[in-house]
Amino acid sequence: MSDETPQRTIRGVGTMGKAWLAILAILFVVGFGAWVYQLMEGLIVTGMNNVFAWALYIMLFVFFVGLSAGGLIISSVPKFFHSDRYDSIAALGVLVSFACIVVAGLLVVPDIGRPERLYEFFTSPDFRSPMVWDFGIVIVYGAFTAGYLWLLTRRDLAAMGSRLAFGVKDTEAGRERDRRISFWFAAAAIPLAVALHSITGWIFALQIGRGDWFSPLVAPMFIMKALVSGLGLVIVTAILADRYTTFELPREQVPELGKVLGVFVAVHIVYLVGAERLPGAWAENFGFWDITTGFLVGETVYFWLWTVVGGVLPLALLVIPSIRKRVWAVFAASVFAIAGILFEGVNLIFVGYTDLYIDAAPGVTTGRGYVAMGSDIWATVGAYTPTVVELLISIGLIALGALIVTLGLWYLPVQSGEVLAPPASDTPDSDATVANGGADSDAD
């Protein structure tokens, strides 16, 4: 056991920290206000209509569900295989996962037309509906990550004398028991994560109504996209935490994680996307080049943002070891990968709602916009632009997620005392840490 008492990762808040918290708080409050406005006026204040019926909220829901995988995977898979190599970022990963699943779950609420009736998921669920299962798994996953996070930090919390230990004591036996329990948590985490992403994927994949969604590959792709974006987010958060807080990310883990990310990106973008597109492209086209372009060229601009920004660029940065060694390269690759996955979600929704099976004139009524005798309420294709209200609500909820991570870093000893050999205080060891100047000045 180390001599060091575990400490909270953020010891004090300087002006930058205060500013950060203030910005997040403002964004959250503004977002909340926008949501109240939306409750009063109804969903007419969004950009959605009867052709394009799910939009920004669901795009971001899908995105954040994916993001919430990475942290849990990185903390549980190595543990499951009895490796403590990544123990240092385990708790951070779970914290990020928790924040993401909370954001994801909350993002659905503004999309609901009559949110006061959400209790009906409990009183009259239909178990044929993937949404019921997704509701359940999101809640279970949220509870699980919260529990797992507590499990990983409770001994350290006890050692700090924090109230958040909830009466648990820091003992060697206790820690031993926790290590065993966390093995089982890790074991449970994997199927849970698989379930979460598959079920979320099946919300789309089972729908014959939106032809481009109906594919058996959607669920596996949701898992891969979760791995890519989740790992990317953990890497980004770890690097940022290493720079701005006492959290320390071992230097050699950066290219390692980068390599893993590279593999995930390759499997996802190169293999799965290819495997998904090939049958359709081959069957619909006759000439060799037509087949090839049908295969390579996507339907929307979001496709390019996804595959090029989220695929080609990260791979370029991660494939070559000499580049992968550099922190900025891995950081950049992670950011691109995350952005790419964001656009994958956007592309998914667009692809489902742009074309109609039966688009004969005059089309479908949009369900909005009747103001006068000359009004045109028709649409034969789906079109969507987010409104300010949608953006504010979404940003507000994302700010909430960032707040959760920040507060988690502030209140929890995210870095376990066992792993951290040198203390992170006055004389930072620049060999072992990623960034110097990691500790904020202690305002206590």
Partner 1 sequence: MSSEEKGVSRRSVLLGAGAAAGALGLGGGYVASLGDRSDMETPHSLENFLNENKVVHGYCSPNCRGKCQMDVYVRDGQIQKVEPKVPENEAYKRSCTLGLSHTQRAYNPTRLKYPMKRTDWEPGNPNTTGRGEDAEFEQISWGEALDYVADEMRRVRQEYSPQSVYFEQGSGSDTIGGTTFGRLAGAFGGTMKSWSIDINVGLGFRRITGAGYFNTPTNQATDIENANTIVIWGGNIFESRFQQDASKVLNAKENGAKIVVVDPVYNTTTAKADLWLPVKPGKDGHLAMSMINVAFEEDYLDREFLRERTLGPALVKEDGSLLKTGEIFDDGDDETPVAYDEAAGEPVPLEPETYGEYALFGEYEVDGMTVTTGLTKVREAAADYSPEKMANYVGVQAENIRQTVRWLGTRGPGGILTGLGVDRYVYGHIFGQAYAILLAMLGQYGQRGCVTGGITQGGYFASDYGAIEGAPGARYLQQKGILEALEGGTDHPIKAMYAMCSNFTANQMPDRQRWLKALENVDMVAVADIQHTPNVQYADIVLPASHWFEREDITGTWTQPHVRYRGAAHDPLWESKHDNWMLVRLAERLGYGEHFERDRETLMRKILEAETRFTFDELREKGTIFIEDSPEIIWQGEFNTPSGRLELYDEDAPSEKGNSLEVPVPLESRTRDDYPTADEYPLTFLQKHSRWRIHSQFGHMPWMRRIHPEPTLDIHPKDARRRDIEDGDYVRVYNDRGEAVVKAKYNKGYRPGLVNIDQGWWSDDYIQGHHNDLTHLDVSEAIENFAFYDVRVEVEAAPDDIDTSMYTNPKKADWLGESTTGGEN
Partner 2 sequence: MTSYGMVIDLERCIGCQACSTACMEENNVSLDHIWNRVLTEGGDNIDTPAGKYPEDGGDGTGTMSMEYLPMACQHCDNAPCVKVCPVNATYTREDGIVEIDYDVCIGCRYCIAACPYNARAFNYDKPVHVPAEGTGNVPERPQGVVEKCTFCTHRVEEELDPACVIACPADARIFGDLDDPNSTVSKYVDKYETEQLLEELEADPKTYYVRGQMSPGRQRPTTELEGTRRKKTSIPEGGEQ
- Minimum CB separation of residue 52 from partner 1 in Å reads 19
Alpha helices in 206-286 (DSSP H): 218-244, 253-265, 273-284
The reply to whether omega before 110 is within 30° of 0 (cis) is no
Which of these ranges, 41-49, 86-94, 138-146, 158-166, lies near partner 2 under the rule CB under 8 A?
A: 41-49
Note whether 360 binds partner 1 by CB under 8 A: no
Note whether 123 binds partner 1 by CB under 8 A: no
Q: With contact defined as beta carbons under 8 Å apart, do 369 and 375 qualify?
A: yes
Note whether 321 binds partner 1 by CB under 8 A: no
The smaller minimum CB distance to partner 1, of residues 166 and 370, is found at 370
Q: Which does 240 bind (CB under 5 to 8 A by kind): partner 1, partner 2, none?
A: none
- Minimum CB separation of residue 217 from partner 2 in Å reads 19
Residue 30, number of CB atoms within 10 A of its CB:
15
The smaller minimum CB distance to partner 1, of residues 45 and 188, is found at 45
Among 53, 217, 312, 316, binds partner 2 (CB under 8 A): 53
Site string for partner 1, 365-404 (x = CB under 8 A): x----xxxxxxxxx--------------------------
Q: Which does 283 bind (CB under 5 to 8 A by kind): partner 1, partner 2, none?
A: none
Note whether 126 binds partner 2 by CB under 8 A: yes
Note whether 113 binds partner 2 by CB under 8 A: yes
Q: With contact defined as beta carbons under 8 Å apart, do 278 and 347 qualify?
A: no
In the three-class reduction of DSSP (H, G, I as helix; E, B as strand; rest coil), residue 364 is classed as strand
Q: Which of 418, 424, 410, 430 is nearest to 164 (CA)?
A: 410
In the three-class reduction of DSSP (H, G, I as helix; E, B as strand; rest coil), residue 379 is classed as strand
Per rule CB under 8 A, count of chain residues that contact partner 1 = 17
Alpha-carbon gap, residue 407 to 401, rounded angstroms: 10
* CA atoms within 13 Å, Cβ hemisphere of 441: 5
Q: Which residues of 190-226 are buried (b: 16+ CB within 10 A; e: fewer)?
A: eebbbbbbbbbbbbbbbeeebebbebebbbbbbbbbb
Q: Which does 40 bind (CB under 5 to 8 A by kind): partner 2, partner 1, none?
A: partner 1
Alpha-carbon gap, residue 369 to 222, rounded angstroms: 35
- Minimum CB separation of residue 356 from partner 1 in Å reads 18
One DSSP character per residue, 179-191 reads HHHHHHHHHHHHH
Among 352, 401, 413, 417, binds partner 2 (CB under 8 A): 352
The smaller minimum CB distance to partner 1, of residues 358 and 443, is found at 358
Given the rule CB under 8 A, which residues bind partner 2?
42-44, 46, 48-51, 53-54, 111-115, 117-118, 120-121, 123-126, 128-132, 135, 203-204, 206-211, 352, 356-358, 360-370, 377
Given the rule CB under 8 A, which residues bind partner 1?
39-42, 114, 116, 362, 365, 370-378
